[in-house]
Amino acid sequence: MVSYEGGTQSVKVAAQKDWRLEVNYNSSETGWISFTQTSGTGIVGIFLTVKPNDSDDSREADIILITPQHRVTTHLVQGSKTTSKAPGWLELPALDQPKLGFFTHSMDGGKYINKATSGVRNWSFYYDYDAFVSWWVAYPLNSGLLKGSVGRSDWQASDPLLPASAVCNLSGGSYGGGWTRGHQIPSADRQLSAGANASTFYPTNLTPQDYNFNGGDNYSGIWVRLEGQVRTYAGRCDTLYVVTGCDVRNSTALSGNNGGHRAKIPTHYYKALLRKKGSSYSAIAFHIPHSGSDSVCLADIMDYVCSIDELEERTGVDFFVNLANYVGKETAASIEAADPAVTVQNW
């Protein structure tokens, strides 16, 4: 991922014989990538320059290295300075971090285009290229989406929406340092099809979690219990809009490099939940310190319930930014400020 600011960096091209570079732009805007040299022989050091992106949208291109025997492609994504054209889906938080990447999966695990092309969206994520985790994963959940029993898929080496070099390859084992592969959208939330379930095992949906926090020997950990409670809530309403996230802003701890990179260890995990039943909306959140201690892992999940406003203050994330478009600003504000202990009684 390249920042919207652009810049120049050195690149080493290595080939046994003659080579050349080509760029295929994936949008109408072209010419924003250049090289000091586009052809040569053997190993050559060159410079790659990416112009600043002043548009509202991220942009993408494929850089192709061509030799007489081989053709190697690298996908490059440049972020946008603003996010005014973000989708209006109810589950989405604000997309206000220009150095993070926003992506959405379709139900087959590929790139979501639109409803007419891709049908129901699967899950979206906001990826931190430096921490090697997604700040959050957001998705709709209801009784229809909870149907199916395809079981758990294999751990995936990469995510098709990102270059393999941008993620931890966790297909052969968990994070180094003893951290488990913790899901943000659970496998059990996408049992509709093999493709939908396989996408939950992409490394962009995984974070390094303490074993006892994640589930523990008897699946009694607070995270797995919270996941089950969220599915119960979803089964009792029309749609539950879910944001699952981890906070790595102040983290200094890193995983081992078993996954190819050293991922940041989250200091906290959270879930923000927006419930729609009929024409009524309500919301609660959970904010939990990432700890393997019994005082956290075996605690009642309601010990960590909070309002959306409280969660926003603790995480710096603006949740459910599109809610006001449905209910108005005043009503949206009251929903986010509501006492969660009272709200949850009707869930």
User: So what's the pLDDT on residue 85?
Assistant: 57
pLDDT in tens, the chain (347 residues): 677 788 998 989 988 889 999 999 987 789 999 999 999 999 999 999 999 988 767 788 889 999 998 899 888 877 666 544 579 999 999 999 989 999 999 999 999 999 999 999 999 999 999 999 999 999 999 999 999 889 999 999 999 999 999 999 999 999 999 999 999 999 999 999 999 999 999 999 999 999 999 999 988 999 999 999 999 999 999 999 999 999 999 999 999 998 889 999 999 999 999 999 999 999 999 999 999 999 999 999 999 999 999 999 999 999 999 999 999 999 999 999 999 999 999 99
DSSP state of 152: -
Q: What is the pLDDT of residue 184?
A: 98
Q: What pLDDT was estimated at residue 83? A: 41
The 10 Å Cβ neighbour count of residue 333 is 15
> Smallest Cα–Cα separation from 338: which of 316, 317, 320, 315?
320
- Rounded Cα gap, residues 346 and 205, in angstroms: 30
Residue found by looking up tokens 């290295």 in the block: 65
HSE of 261, CA atoms in CB hemisphere, 13 A: 21
CA distances from residue 213 to 49, 132, 278 in whole angstroms, order as listed: 44, 20, 35
- List alpha helices for 268-320, DSSP H: 294-297, 308-315
Instruction: Give the whole-angstrom CA distance, residue 83 versus residue 329.
Output: 20
Could you tell me which of 167, 163, 269 has the C-alpha nearest to residue 225?
A: 269
Q: Which of 71, 70, 77 is nearest to 98 (CA)?
A: 77
268 - beta bridge partners?
Answer: 247, 289
Q: What is the pLDDT of residue 42?
A: 93
Which domains are delineated in the chain?
Answer: 7-78 (2.60.40.10), 101-346 (3.40.570.10)
φ, ψ of residue 214 to 5 degrees: the values are -65, -45
Residue 15 main-chain phi, psi, to 5 deg: -150, 155
272 pairs with which residues across the strands?
A: 243, 285
pLDDT at 5: 83
Instruction: Please state at what angle helix 329-337 crosses helix 308-315, rounded to 10 degrees.
Output: 80
> pLDDT at position 81, please?
62
Burial 155-167 (b: 16+ CB within 10 A, else e): bbbbbebbeeebb
Q: What is the dihedral of CA 279, 102, 98, 95, to 10 degrees?
A: 0
Residues 218, 120: Cα–Cα separation, whole Å? 34
